Amino acid sequence: MSRVTKRKHVMREMFIDGFQLPKENQQIVRVVSSRGNNLHEVEPAADGGHFLVSMPTKFRKTIWVKRGDFVLVEPIEEGYKVKGEMCKILTAEHVKEFSKEGIWPPSKPELPCG
């Protein structure tokens, strides 16, 4: 499969999916930083702990994730440091739909500076 065809199919899968709601084992997290080697440090909304997630092979060199983006993560059992794998990168339209359905996690309160 050519690179253009692969990109077309991956983008279609990511963005034109009918806004399916997350499954029970999936969670919405925010990307804190990129650790290299297709690993990203993420922060869940519920508890403040950070953990690493991997990017699947089909997304590599096709879709880029930057700090502050929201992703949908599935947990993996075999990892000690890497605790999940990205299954979808969320767009602004996903955020609107998930907020409307009431499944978007509440935002964390900001700490006062000073």
pLDDT in tens, 43-97: 997 777 899 999 998 888 888 899 999 999 999 988 788 999 999 888 888 888 8
- Give the model's confidence band at 17: pLDDT under 50 very low, under 70 low, under 90 confident, else very high: low
The runs of H, that is alpha helices, within the chain are: 3-15, 92-101
Residue 14 has pLDDT above 90, yes or no: no
* pLDDT on residue 105: 83
Mean pLDDT of the chain: 83
- Give the model's confidence band at 112: pLDDT under 50 very low, under 70 low, under 90 confident, else very high: very low
For the chain, report the end-to-end CA distance as a whole number of angstroms.
Answer: 55
The identity of residue 17, as a single letter, is D
What does R_g of the chain's alpha carbons equal in angstroms?
15
Domains and CATH numbers, the chain: 3-101 (2.40.50.140)
